[in-house]
A = this chain, B = another copy of it.
Amino acid sequence: MFLEIDHSSGVPIYRQIIRQVRRHIVTGGLKPGDQLESVRELAARLNVNPMTISKAYSLLEGEGLVERRRGIGLFIADVHNGHVDEIKSRMFAETIDKAAVTAVQLGISERDALSLLREKYALYRSKSRRQK
C-alpha cells in the first residue's frame, strides 16, 4: 500500500493515513476482504509511532470502512459499491482545480504548470511502484 507521509505539512499523521487509506479503498487498490498491514509493520515501514497507526485504523473502523477480526487483524469492509469512478474523478478534480487556480493567480505559465505536474507524477508513480 502506497502511503506518503509529509512530516512538515502540519497535518496530523493519523489523518494523512486515514485519507490515503480511504483513497485506496475507493480506488480499488484495497478490495473488500483484503487484510491491512499490521499496526507494527506499517509503523515500522513509515517510521512513525505504532499508536499513531492504531489511532488511524480505529477511526477507519469507526467509519465502517474497516473490520476488526479478533486475533487476526484488520480487513477492508464490504462497502465498495457503485459511483466509484465518479467519486474518484471528483476527488482528483478538486486537487487539480486548486492547482489551476493557484497557477493562474500567480501568473505561472501553462507550460511550466504541466511540466511540474509531469515531474511530480513520475516521482510519486515510481515511489508507489517501489512500495507495492
Residues of A within 8 A of B (CB): 2, 4, 7, 12-13, 20, 23-24, 26-29, 49, 59, 62, 69-71, 88, 91-93, 95-108, 110, 113-114, 116-118, 120-125, 127-128
Q: Flag if B116 contacts A24 (CB, 8 Å).
A: no
Q: Flag if A121 contacts B125 (CB, 8 Å).
A: no
- Which B residue's beta carbon lies closest to that of A3? B105
- Chain B residues within an 8 Å CB radius of A116: 92-93, 96
Q: Flag if B123 contacts A100 (CB, 8 Å).
A: yes
Q: Flag if B93 contacts A29 (CB, 8 Å).
A: no
Q: Flag if A105 contacts B49 (CB, 8 Å).
A: no
Q: Flag if B102 contacts A117 (CB, 8 Å).
A: no
Q: Flag if B117 contacts A23 (CB, 8 Å).
A: no
Of B2, B100, B123, which one neighbours A121 at CB under 8 angstroms?
B100
- Chain B residues within an 8 Å CB radius of A13: 70
A–B complex contacts, Cβ < 8 Å, 15 sampled: A23-B102, A27-B105, A59-B62, A91-B106, A92-B99, A95-B98, A95-B102, A96-B99, A96-B113, A97-B120, A98-B99, A99-B117, A110-B122, A110-B125, A114-B118
